[in-house]
Amino acid sequence: MTKLVAQSVINSFFDGKQADPFAVLGMHETHNGIEIRALLPDADKVEVIDKESQSMVVALERVDERGFFSAIVPDVNHFFAYQLKVYWGSDVHLIEDPYRFHPMINDLDQWLLAEGSLLRPYEVLGAHFTECDGVPGVNFRVWAPNAKRVSLVGDFNYWDGRRHPMRFHPASGVWELFLPKASLGQRYKFELIDCYGNLRLKADPYAFSSELRPDTASEISMLPDVVEMTEQRRKANQRNQPISIYEVHLGSWRRNLENNFWLDYDQIADELIPYVKHMGFTHIEFLPISEFPFDGSWGYQPIGLYSPTSRFGTPEGFKRLVEKAHTAGINVILDWVPGHFPSDTHGLVAFDGTALYEHADPREGYHQDWNTLIYNYGRNEVKNFLSSNALYWLERFGVDGIRVDAVASMIYRDYSRAEGEWIPNQYGGRENLEAIEFLKHTNWKIHSEMTGAISIAEESTSFGGVTHPTENGGLGFNFKWNMGWMNDTLSYMTLDPVYRRYHHDKMTFGMIYQYSENFVLPLSHDEVVHGKCSLLGKMPGDAWQKFANLRAYYGYMWGYPGKKLLFMGNEFAQGREWNYEESLDWFLLDENHGGQWHKGVLQLVKDLNGIYQNNAPLFELDGEPEGFDWLVVDDAENSVFAFERKSSNGERIIVISNFTPVPREGYRIGVNVAGEYEEILNTDSMYYQGSNVGNFGSVKSEAIASHGRDNSISVTIPPLATIYLKYKAYQ
């Protein structure tokens, strides 16, 4: 037996330390001729088969009992396509040798990956079905520049890290291996020896599918086809259109009644989409569905950013859910979390032994509030990984927009940190310049590659220009959650009406900054958890007053400038806090459980959405000062507010709210235009289980001066109610 490879090299394979397998395995030109070497642990015999003629060329010698084979091919002086016939006892398999294939990543992709300017790195990294030299298989690539060795392990090789070490590309830090006959659904991970010599087992950061928790492997899955943006979806996202968002946690909207288990994507689609359509919402916003390990994070601590969570089925199932929404004329927004990630060992943390995705210094890279890690936005490959992920969901699943979580935690280095616990930027300031640049870059990428898609910022500070174009120094978002409006108005509504007169400005202050950004008014999941009570539970008074307060508040909100967002369950006034482990309390709509009151709120929200969509004054000029005018702004004594909304062609709607339990009869309000005003909404209507106080259908203006205007109307404002009066002119 001739030893063609040094024993130390052979040992490195079986010790799992071989970092350059292609320099040893496969077909090589040597001084002795063409030599073929194969690593096949525990195999008894290996024969080389000419692929074209299917004849045996040579039997490889087992030069190491553990399963290393090699031989000189007789009478051959050129490379040729071959297969290996492998004998494991009585089992015989004809296989393709992964180590006979050439590198498949090109120089340009490597350059762009390193530069951070590859638009769609998910088309290069991860696991992709492809052909090499006519052989079908899956090409695996992972970025781990500081690893000493990376192997592919999975269902196809007994999870044995010795069998498939990968090829390293120093120019990009990418490891690569083409594996013939790998199949759809097979599980895999990357086994690394990190820069310190420690063994790490990592899920694929670019995996398109993942195992159901608590298991953590990636799954071989197809890259979804591109979904083209349509003109209908594009128009529905525009600033001058009605946008009413129903925020949904897929795991607890509804559950299987028999076992309290989740519904799958298709079951959710069959029930959720018709309901949202019936209720008149224009958009659905899903809490994060990128794969995440801990149910209690609600998806806000993701690890598999490119993988729809397997809790509810397959990526194809999620794509069908989005498609069904589009068929119903509903746009889809996805909650997206680029701000942090959990420290689970199979994830991104210390990926190759170094702080590859995160910052090494905890003053920059550790979130004290959430026990999570912060991305290093200044690193090209990380910025590319994240920004392209937003594009991935928009392009490959047809999602119409993203809502970026916790933007404030990203753009401030001292977010939730005491003095000395954070590092200033290069100019000594508190802004995270790299994160700001990343957000601008992401919004540029979305708007340039997916015209019509939108991005929404959950940003809780007064940071300027969040929704201003990047070319004007802004962050480039389309909309921003108006957290100030939400906090102010909710704190007002929780007060006993007798005290509201002292806090009148909480309902009016938002207009001071209304036109500084493009706003969404959010009553989100964050307001109904962690001891904050449900929205109904926040309202003061007895049961009747609680429901009346909530109805009046909704009426005020739908009349106020800004797009609308309501978390699931709030549309029927669920009485208890949201619980992610259970279905919503749909039984409350049963008349035997107080269903009339809850049905009343449900009907009101449906009617509000209908009125909102069909009346341009309520949405068209949300961001323009000429679309809004206070009519009564200073009546703190009576806790009455009145304002006019106007469209570009002069249509007008007056919104009047009374936040005391005292009806106001003969209340005079100055109006801008004389004429008849039709009462198109009254939250105190009997249809909503109110006291049915109102204005008998309409009111007419009189030439009586009031509130600095020549004409006025005398109205009856019901207790704890909001009414809408639509201008009809004189008939």
Q: Answer yes or no: are the C-beta atoms of 138 and 104 closer than 8 Å.
A: no
- Let me know if 458 is a catalytic residue: yes
Helix H, strand E, coil C: the string for 440-502 is HHHHHHHHHHCCCCEEEECCCCCCCCCCCCHHHCCCCCCEEECHHHHHHHHHHHCCCHHHHHH
Residue 212 CB neighbour total at 10 angstroms: 12
Scan for tokens 């009066």, then name that residue: 725
Closest alpha carbon to 283 in 619, 725, 688 = 619
In a 3-state reduction of DSSP, which class is residue 283? strand
How far apart are alpha carbons 251 and 232 in whole angstroms? 29
Q: Rounded to whole angstroms, how far apart are CA atoms 516 and 498?
A: 33
The catalytically annotated residue of 35, 97, 358, 458 is: 458
User: 410, 416, 422, 363: which is closest to 383 by C-alpha?
Assistant: 410
Coil, strand or helix at 720 = coil
| Helices and strands: H and E segment counts in the chain | 14, 35
Tokens 């927009």 label which residue? 401
Helix then strand then coil, in percent of the chain rounded to 5, is 30, 30, 45
Q: How far apart are CA 288 and CA 335, in angstroms?
A: 5
The residues with which 533 forms a beta bridge, in sequence order, are none
HSE-up of residue 665 (Cα within 13 Å, Cβ side): 2
Cβ neighbours around 151 below 10 Å, total: 23
- Residue with structure tokens 């209507």? 685
- Tokens at 548, concatenated: 């009346």
3-state secondary structure of 644: strand
What's the residue count for the chain? 731
Is residue 5 within 8 Å of residue 68, measured between CB atoms?
yes
CA distance 684 to 458: 33
Using an 8 Å Cβ cutoff, are 39 and 68 in contact? yes
Residue 620 CA from chain centroid, whole number? 27
Angle between helices 265-279 and 595-614 (to 10 degrees): 70
How many CA within 13 A on the CB side of residue 353? 15
Helix (H, G, I), strand (E, B) or coil at 154: strand
405 is a catalytic site residue: yes
The amino acid occupying position 504 is H
Choose the catalytic residue: 219, 405, 459, 488. Answer: 405
Calpha distance 533→25 (Å, rounded): 64
Provide the annotated active-site residues: 405, 458
